[in-house]
Amino acid sequence: MNYPKTQKIDVSDTYFGTTINDPYRWLEDDRSAETKAWVEAENKVTQNYLSNIPFKGAIKKRLETLWNYEKFTAPFKEGAYTYFYKNDGLQNQYVLYRQADKTKAEVFLDPNTFSKDATTSLAGIEFTKDGSHVAYQISEGGSDWRKVIVLKTADKSVVGDTLIDVKFSGLSWKGNEGFYYSSYDKPKEGSQLSGLTQYHKLFYHKIGTSQKEDVLVFGGDQTPRRYINGGLTDDQRFLVITAAVSTTGNELYIQDLSKPGSPITQIVNDFKNDYSIIDNQGSKLFIYTNYKAPNYRVVTVDASNPAPENWKDFIPETDNVLQASTAGGKFFANYLKDATSLVMQYDMDGNLERTVTLPGVGTASGFSAKKSERELYYTFTSYIYPPTIFKYIIATGQSLEYKKSGVQFDPSKYVSKQVFYTSKDGTKVPMIITHKKGIELNGKNPTLLYGYGGFSVSLTPSFSTSNIILLEQGGIYAVPNLRGGGEYGEKWHLAGTKMQKQNVFDDFIAAAEYLISNKYTSKEYLAISGGSNGGLLVAATMSQRPELFKVAFPAVGVLDMLRYNKFTAGAGWAYDYGTAEDSKEMFEYLLKYSPYHALKQGVSYPATLITTADHDDRVVPAHSFKFAARLQEFHQGASPALIRIETNAGHGAGKPTGKIIEEQADKWAFMLHNMGLSFK
């Protein structure tokens, strides 16, 4: 491969007496002409390679056929209308429709019209309680920075000015007069895409007024916090504020809006655990938390004296991890049992009414609705069960199939089973393996091993249209539930953080070894894939065990572990990762596995397709740029080391269907081609 020549400039940092060279630091400047020229040169090489794979066009055509069916989301009621999202098949963005009783559905918002290239997406929406007004967020080019537009729903007329520079925010209406939202000060110097965003602020915006007049409710200089969110209880009596300095643990505050001038009262004053108020009954608060309960529980307390010592169990902690929601005056406990769903319904007094009968073993989501509703809609899916929407009658517990997926896929031809394997330190880790029935376990099946392992994120079974390409070819899709995730509660999460992070990589490597030793595949037919924190996982494991994998797909990854906290919201990830400034021990630990630093001269690495986007302001593309430059410099061997940089796109949310299909076609073509296989 003739890679572009990447300039090296002498730059170094010293940590605890150790000097670390960083010759590709200049690629961190996403605004420079030099970086832009490098991106264009790398993309040219990558696209030239991919376009010469003879069957790439056939894969893209098959993906377009598979994708081209009507897709719906579960409906929801706002005022006199029922709203739902629909995609005709290959539309770049889902369209929001609405329907009054027994009338024809009409388009309410069509994000495909927001920009010529469909890269502006709908990124959040919130209606007033009576459904008369709506505030919605848009993301341009996949950026985390958002704009907010307010409409009257009756005639879709715009109310007031568009709010700008909103980031990591919900929208929560107070009556019809205004709403709460959160944002940061936009970085004044340097890149607005990669500049550090430090302190969140909660504002109140009165509709029809200028954004400059918005009232700072919480945050700023008085209470500097990295993440702040404000929301109202269903009866709009309480403003609930959560404030955090990292992605784990938060403070909890309330303000009684029924009493004018009432102060903001602190309920929890540390960041050691997670807390959220999910409902109230008058002054009785229902709090969802992992305080003294690593697997989570729901407690109750009176708002007049809400300190933790007064909390009483409402839904106690169990051996399974709890997610809790409310609908129709009931509570729904959605448990994770070995990474699959088990749902129970409780009344307002905490009495168990029933265990919800689900269609099978998989993931059920959406057990929430307004208190006034008598029914809800949930979605059920698994690796071989395309997403199906069910209507659930709350009073009787009856589930009725509402919308079945129209995808061309016959589940009866495939099998998806859970196994438990042993990691390096003896820990048992679950993994779900999916493939065609009757395949021969001869070590020659193309296999994609996908993982994440961080930030308490749980990987539960879900259907992927793109994965049909692999399964139809007799391939195998395997997903282990690594430590660092939330599948077994906070203990499982903590076992994959800071100076335990190597456990995550060991779990992933052990999953690969299990697949090989049980003849599902061999190293000649094994690919690994992951995005964001999962991109770190892939890049770290390919640098530690390059001989174990044939192909690697590190996507939008955190790859420079010494500098990740210098960009955008990166400092908020320190709870999971630690930082190079924390201590000599933490610095040395990070340096050892940091993918950018762990690459070695003269090693033969797997065929690698790094993917990122020029507008990714979550995990800045500099991580991928620097890793690609060093991989191309050090890699010894015939397999390609390429980077695919999507233009006018971000971390992933809101990506148009056309870009998704193009990227997936590139990925499958690259994988099969480098395994010496073709597409049948």
Q: Of the residues 182, 368, 532, 624, which is catalytic?
A: 532
CA–CA separation, 95 and 87 (whole Å): 6
Judge contact between 124 and 171, C-beta under 8 A.
yes
CA distance 326 to 481: 27
The DSSP secondary-structure symbol of 232 reads E
- At residue 210's C-alpha, the angle toward residues 209 and 211, to 5°, is 120
50: its two tokens: 């991919």
CB 464 within 8 A of CB 470: no
**Residue 532 falls in the annotated catalytic set:** yes
Sign for the pseudo-dihedral over CA of 612, 617, 621, 623: negative
Q: Which of 615, 635, 651, 673 is catalytic?
A: 651
* CA 390 and chain centroid, separation: 24
172 catalytic? Reply is no
CA distance 136 to 157: 13
Half-sphere exposure of 405 (CA within 13 A, CB side): 20
The residue written with tokens 């369209």 in the block is 95
Query: Backbone dihedral region of 400: left (phi > 0), alpha (psi from -120 to 50 degrees) or beta?
Result: beta
Phi and psi of 42, rounded to 5°? -65, -45
How far is residue 585's CA from residue 19's CA, in Å, rounded to a whole number?
15
Beta bridge mates, 378: 390
CA dist., res. 34 & res. 26, Å (int): 9
Report which secondary-structure segment, H or E, holds 574.
helix 574-577
Which candidate, 222, 174, 219, places its Cα nearest to that of 197? 219
Q: In 207-350, which ranges are E strands? A: 215-219, 227-232, 238-244, 251-256, 264-268, 275-281, 284-289, 297-302, 312-315, 321-327, 330-337, 340-346
Residue 181: enclosing H or E segment and its boundaries?
A: strand 178-183
Residue in 131, 133, 135 with CA at minimum distance from that of residue 100 = 131
579-583 long-range Cβ contacts below 8 angstroms, 24+ apart: 580/15, 581/15, 583/16
Catalytically annotated residues: 532, 651
